[in-house]
Amino acid sequence: MDLTVACIISSHGYGHAARSSAVMTAMQQRRPDLKFEIITQVNPPFFQVSFPGKYTCHIEWTDVGLVQNDPFVEDLSGTANRLEDFLSDWDEILQRIHVILRETRSRLVIADIAPIGIAAARAANLPSVLIENFTWDWIYSGYPGWREQVEKPIHLFADCFRSATYHIQTIPVCSPDPNSNLLTQPVSRPHRIERGELRASLHIPPGAKVVLITTGGIENRPGFLDRLTGIKNVFFLVPGGSKDRLIVEGGLVAFPHQSTFFHPDLVNASDAVIGKAGYSTIAEVYRAGIPFGFISRENFPESASLEKFIRDEIPGVPIALARFDSGDWLSDLDQILSLPRVECSSPNGADQISDFLLPLL
């Protein structure tokens, strides 16, 4: 009989779902009898690609996070309105999640970083695990002049986070807690296909350079794609670069936003990554040991911690958002590709979390 664990995930981008997928994969590799009840608004096809184990998806509103105008710019006014709607539905959502936990006989609740997951575990008298490198109350409090509009969710979410049975923080962490139960290395989904095999599947010549361009889980088609087709001996992999099918045109390899290609495989097959400095991308680039041309989110409170980690641990070059949008970053490409690869010798945080959680079951 399967042993059931509930995983309640924020649907702000794909970073939290990617981290949760890495943890679930590590746990199920050690305990094949585990089954996961995934509760989130993240599109189910993401988990079909990211998590090869046993699970059921329950589509439920678990979090607001931040409303985004695009991958780099958040909408604070829209976020405040969305939070008001979420809190008005809080009790009904909590009850539905409570029913899922009861009917599936879940034994443990993992929350990344949906506060209602911890509240639901508490209501069901189940142990809960908070996995985070930041919490939403910390993020919201990082916008001076705006936090007054969201004082109610700040206090509610902070109470939920404090009540977690176990607290796990993952590097690069924004607000270190000396009382947390575990501090891990970056959590990354491991690649599955070797570098040469993936390149061959895309008909990329063995001696060519490969650059992955990614803006994370929020859909965004770059406006400079026409500048990528004529650069000699360089192939550009662009998730979200096409609407509904794989397109190969010269050196441009464009994928749909929802693609069957596994993102860590694309990272591992590349010689450099250009993209948004988001948690899951940073963790995958760090694991692969390749250079990173990174675009920071100027006002996002998490950015300082992420950038410090990149500067300390990853060969990287900062790229201003305006230069990324215009495609002028291409003048930096030779510099980025000339940076050395770095061998990653630290453990995967997903394995560290798995080793901590499994004895609890």
Mind listing the pLDDT tens digit for each residue in 40-54? 999 999 999 999 999
Domain total in the chain:
2
> Is residue 342 situated within a structural domain?
no
d(CA 115, CA 156): 9
First to last CA, the chain: 14
pLDDT at 269: 96
Q: Tell me, yes or no, whether 248 lies in a domain.
A: yes
Pick the closest to residue 106 from 35, 21, 51 (CA basis). 35
The predicted structure's pLDDT at residue 243: 84
Give yes or no: residues 257 and 319 share one domain: yes
- Cα dihedral value 80, 86, 88, 92, nearest 10: -170
46 is in which domain, residue-wise?
Answer: 3-185+349-360
Whether 89 and 120 map to the same domain: the answer is: yes
**What is the overall mean pLDDT for the chain?**
95
CB 334 within 8 A of CB 211: no
Amino acid of residue 256? P
What's the pLDDT tens digit per position in 1-39?
689 999 999 999 999 999 999 999 999 999 999 999 999
- How far is the C-alpha of 236 from the C-alpha of 233, rounded, in Å? 10
Query: What's residue 1's pLDDT?
Result: 66
DSSP helix/strand/coil, 201: helix
321 burial level (CB within 10 Å; 0-12, 13-18, 19+): middle
User: Is residue 344, in this structure, part of any structural domain at all?
Assistant: no
Q: Which CATH number fits the domain that encloses residue 145?
A: 3.40.50.2000
* Same domain membership, residue 165 and residue 68: yes
Q: Are residues 175 and 113 in the same domain?
A: yes
Q: Do 207 and 332 have their domain in common?
A: yes
Clarify whether residues 138 and 227 are in a common domain.
Answer: no
Indicate the angle between helix axes 15-30 and 349-357, nearest 10 degrees. Answer: 60
Residues 166 and 23 in one domain: yes
Phi, psi (rounded to 5 degrees) for 224? -110, 15
Residue pair 297/218 in contact (Cβ under 8 Å)? The answer is no
For 203, other C-beta atoms within 10 Å of its C-beta total 9
Cα separation values, 316 from 31, 190, 212, 267, 335, Å: 37, 21, 14, 15, 10
The span from the CA of 191 to the CA of 62, in Å, is 28
Cα separation, 272 vs 82, whole angstroms: 37
Please say whether the dihedral angle defined by the alpha carbons of residues 261, 267, 271 and 275, taken in this order, is positive or negative: positive
Per-residue confidence (pLDDT) for residue 248, from 0 to 100 = 86
User: Domain for residue 25, yes or no?
Assistant: yes
Give yes or no: residues 235 and 181 share one domain: no
Backbone angles phi, psi at 347, to 5 degrees: -70, 155
Q: Are residues 309 and 356 in the same domain?
A: no
* Residues lower than pLDDT 70 in the chain: 1
Q: 151 and 11, same structural domain?
A: yes
Q: What number of residues does the chain have?
A: 361
38 and 181 in a common domain: yes
Asked if the structure places residue 61 within a domain, the reply is yes
Confirm whether 343 is domain-assigned.
Answer: no
Domain-located, residue 190: no
CB 128 within 8 A of CB 115: no
CB-count burial class (<10 Å; 0-12, 13-18, 19+) for 52 = middle
Under a CB-based contact definition with an 8 Å cutoff, are residues 258 and 240 in contact? no
7 in the same domain as 47: yes
Domain annotation covers residue 19: yes
User: CB of 161 within 8 A of CB of 180?
Assistant: no
